[in-house]
A and B are shown apart, each in its own frame.
Chain A
Amino acid sequence: EAGVAQSPRYKIIEKRQSVAFWCNPISGHATLYWYQQILGQGPKLLIQFQNNGVVDDSQLPKDRFSAERLKGVDSTLKIQPAKLEDSAVYLCASSLAQGLAKNIQYFGAGTRLSVL
């Protein structure tokens, strides 16, 4: 079974530029998550989708970050304009359904973003 796919793996941009990340979850997984992992810290949830609806975006900086999950499968996360502090690894994860008690989240390899 294929895992969570993310692209690109690495991205270097200058501040004030825009960037987009793509995620393809495990087939059949209804729930998709985007996390931001700053160097030396644990991942922090940015946004969570259940199918194509947003269920939690409380920690998403909405003035510059946006995300969508059209048709309830693939998702894109966009930053516009980027700031230096956005340098981080952006991890996508998916799980079968949020209602399950165990609800294991499976992660992709992440996109490492450097903002110069």
Chain B
Amino acid sequence: AQKITQTQPGMFVQEKEAVTLDCTYDTSDQSYGLFWYKQPSSGEMIFLIYQGSYDEQNATEGRYSLNFQKARKSANLVISASQLGDSAMYFCAMREFENSWGKLQFGAGTQVVVTP
């Protein structure tokens, strides 16, 4: 069964606008972590933001924020004030702590294109 679902294969966003990337996850663990990574065309996966399942506040890192809705099992990434350099693939990933050795399980990704 798919653990991480990203339903938007691609999105266009105008420069300086905000964009929300959807991510839903499936786990029976009480303790888990959610990660977002950015993958530019160069190929390297760049860590953006982390949310732990017990964190009460939504995570923020600069222009990135995570809209964590635990009951709905969703962890959407919000990028504010988009820049041309934000054009990339974005992956949501989950690590289940109770029966895992730290393995990250990734979604299929969302391609974001920022236009001038």
A residues adjacent to B (C-beta < 8 A): 31, 33, 40-45, 48, 50, 55-56, 89, 91, 93, 95, 98, 101-110, 112
Contact = CB atoms under 8 A, between A and B. Distances in A.
B102 A109 contact: no
A109 B45 CA distance: 7
Nearest to A56: B101
Contacts of A101: 33, 52, 97
A42 B43 contact: no
Contacts of B109: 41-42
A41 B107 CA distance: 8
Interface string B11-42: 00000000000000000000001010100001
Interface in B76-116: 91, 93, 95, 97, 101-109
Contacts of B46: 107
Nearest to A43: B106
A114 B70 CA distance: 40
Contact of B33 (A43, A103, A106, A108): A103
A43 B44 CA distance: 11
Nearest to A41: B108
Given A42-B107, A48-B101, A102 B44 contact: no
Given A42-B106, A56-B101, A104-B50, 19 more contacts: A41-B108, A41-B109, A42-B4, A42-B107, A42-B108, A55-B101, A56-B103, A91-B43, A98-B101, A102-B52, A103-B95, A104-B47, A105-B47, A105-B102, A107-B46, A109-B42, A109-B43, A110-B43, A112-B43
